[in-house]
Structure 1
Amino acid sequence: MKFVLQVAGVALMLAGGLWTLQGLGLVMWPAESFMLAERQWAINGALVFGAGAALFWFASRRR
């Protein structure tokens, strides 16, 4: 269970990081994405990244 939660945490961090960078306009890929340079997606991405980091931390502390 610990491993599954850690993998889910990493997946959330990767997705949230991509969404944040797209929302900030730093990653303009894919070109047809509706998230590019949209502040709301930068905020959403940061929240998802934080949730993933918290999940990973929580799973790491489990025995």
Structure 2
Amino acid sequence: MSELNEKLATAWEGFTKGDWQNEVNVRDFIQKNYTPYEGDESFLAGATEATTPCGTK
């Protein structure tokens, strides 16, 4: 295996295989490889002084 092929093989480790590997198919990649977030909003930071006016318009 060439160095380039090795790098490509390891770059995609952990992803579910699909049509996206052989063609430009973003939908297939996303559908096969996303994990829904089932938590709550507690990880979000509050608004900053710069962004607060954005929510008042």
User: What's the TM-score once normalised by structure 1's chain length?
Assistant: 0.23
More helix by share: 1
Q: TM-score, normalised by structure 2?
A: 0.25
RCO higher in structure (CA 8 A, sep ≥6)? 1
Kindly name which structure, 1 or 2, has the bigger radius of gyration based on alpha carbons.
Answer: 2
